[in-house]
A and B are shown apart, each in its own frame.
Chain A
Amino acid sequence: MSGLTVSDDDFILNIPEPVFLGFLGVLALLLVGTIAALILPRAQPGKWTDLGPRMRSWWVIVILVGGALVLGWQATAILFALISFLALKEFLTLAPTRKEDRLIVLLAYLSVFVNYGLIFAESLFQDSYQIYLVFLPVYGFLISAAAMAWIGRTEGYLPTVGIIHWGMVVCVYNIGYIAFLMRVPDAEAPAGGAGLVFFLIFITQLNDVAQYCWGKALGRTKITPSVSPNKTWEGAVGGWLTTAVVFYFLAPVFTPLSPLHAAIMGVIVPMAGFFGDITMSAIKRDLGVKDTSRLIPGHGGVLDRLDSLTFAAPVYFHLLAYFAIERF
């Protein structure tokens, strides 16, 4: 199956050709956006104030993620470990915790090291993937529940133990799958692990943008009025179909999926992204905040940017592993 093997000719500057071209496309979009950010505020003063900082932040995001993918799985794991830590810190800052829980919160941060450490440990023993799968969902649950019972304050125990585990799974375990994708052997994907990561991030961001555009153009019927009042059925379905079609046609470039499997994933992955998005909106509404922090100018917090990925990443990983990746 020569089509699945990456030969030396397919690399430009040590990057698989599709990923290289993909980044060129992203850079072109960034340039267009940056030019718009320079012109629009002058054409309509006061209306586009957010666009400048927003575009500057996009440059930083693309350079960081692109740089990590070029440098390899180690750099990607370190970058996403940092992102997980920042996301978890935002979550545990806003979610209610108790004075006695400071030690537990510290333990939750330590879970970032174990979770991403297991991605590194994959070089030592192949079972580390199996341990990754169960560590935070099962053992993170057992350890945090036991440790909090040991500390002994029973008032508010159940909501807090739920919050701690929820934060670890969403911010650390689910996001960790992105980094773990980089460990797919190059021979198993047409553009290597970097291609799989690039495609996941590209698809989830495209879904957000497509939903926004369809919503602006045709949006009438609210889909989740109490959670995310700006979202409409027209936007959600239009974005979903657009993303599914793009997924189907680009899948052969980045993934080893058969056409049938590409169609199934094209339908499911954007839907997971949509539910990640409204789940994070529901949480923010419950906590009474609009953004999870002010870390990224023009965007809000890390969790605001990651919302769709927190759900799309594990679903994308598991379906790929089931359909096409031998290693996992």
Chain B
Amino acid sequence: MLQTIRRYGLMLIVRPIARLLFGLDVIGADKLPKDGPAIVAANHNSHVDTIVLLCLFPAKLLHKIRPVAAADHFDKGGFGSWFSKNIIGIIPIKRGGASRGEDVLLAAKEALTRGEILVVFPEGSRGEPEEMTRFKTGVARLVEFHPATTVTPVYLQGAGRSLPKDAKLLVPFNTTAVVGDPLTWNGSHHGFVDELRARIEALKAQAPPMRWE
């Protein structure tokens, strides 16, 4: 029942509105994973990023797409929490403050075992609009746990201009997503995230120029 609401809510309401406000141009859409377990990793500038990535997938895959999101931000209770978990389909994850020995990645690992597709932002936080910070190693630890998982790099441009961190006003601008070739586990946490970061950085060249200072 919830799955049906989620699917049609995303297809009939979220996607048309997102297309109207953010354009959602995709370069290399055929490189997106067609089945799980898989991870899609992108740079992060705005809450809009999650919506943009979610809308890139065909309707029949939507029930498998699970954005991994900060629990301290999206799982604070109330309607927002319900909406994030059930409609957007997030997997809440604790940032800092987790007790020793607690596996914060457990829910994400379980999702991969179920064959779902995770959407992750390895920067861990939105940061300054349209600038990339260093990557956390969580995504590498997920692939190490599930070596069959591919990680598809995506460069997102423009959402940080529509809704930057701390902005109260949403301003429509077109966004572009550039999808790259998938990576597989290479045996090193830092080596993996550095490679991922370099790939995302390289995809930027294919996006239209953006001048916003």
By the criterion CB–CB under 8 Å, are A93 and B169 in contact? no
B202 within 8 Å of A by Cβ? no
By the criterion CB–CB under 8 Å, are A89 and B174 in contact? yes
By the criterion CB–CB under 8 Å, are A94 and B208 in contact? yes
B102 within 8 Å of A by Cβ? no
* Residues of B130-174 contacting chain A, CB below 8 A: 158, 161, 167, 169, 171-174
* Residues of B188-211 contacting chain A, CB below 8 A: 208-211
B23 within 8 Å of A by Cβ? yes
By the criterion CB–CB under 8 Å, are A106 and B212 in contact? no
By the criterion CB–CB under 8 Å, are A89 and B23 in contact? yes
B213 within 8 Å of A by Cβ? yes
B25 within 8 Å of A by Cβ? yes
B213 — which chain A residues lie within 8 A by C-beta? 96, 98-99, 156
A144 — which chain B residues lie within 8 A by C-beta? none
Residue of A nearest to B163 (CB): A102
A63 within 8 Å of B by Cβ? no
Chain A contributes a number of interface residues (CB within 8 A of B) equal to 22
By the criterion CB–CB under 8 Å, are B171 and A102 in contact? yes
A293 — which chain B residues lie within 8 A by C-beta? 23, 25, 174
Report which residue of B158, B172, B209 has the largest number of chain A beta carbons within 10 angstroms of its beta carbon. B172
B25 — which chain A residues lie within 8 A by C-beta? 293-295
Q: How distant is the Cα of A52 from the Cα of B104 in the complex, in angstroms?
A: 48
A95 — which chain B residues lie within 8 A by C-beta? 211
A103 — which chain B residues lie within 8 A by C-beta? 169, 171
B209 — which chain A residues lie within 8 A by C-beta? 94, 287-289
Residue of B nearest to A295 (CB): B23
A89 — which chain B residues lie within 8 A by C-beta? 23, 172-174
B26 within 8 Å of A by Cβ? yes
Q: Show the binding face of B for A, using Cβ within 8 Å.
A: 23, 25-27, 129, 158, 161, 167, 169, 171-174, 208-213
A90-B23, A90-B174, A93-B174 given; name 18 further pairs at CB < 8 Å. Answer: A89-B174, A92-B173, A93-B23, A93-B158, A93-B173, A96-B211, A96-B213, A97-B211, A98-B212, A99-B129, A102-B167, A102-B171, A288-B208, A289-B208, A293-B23, A294-B25, A294-B26, A295-B25
Q: Show the binding face of A for B, using Cβ within 8 Å.
A: 89-90, 92-99, 102-103, 105-106, 109, 156, 287-289, 293-295
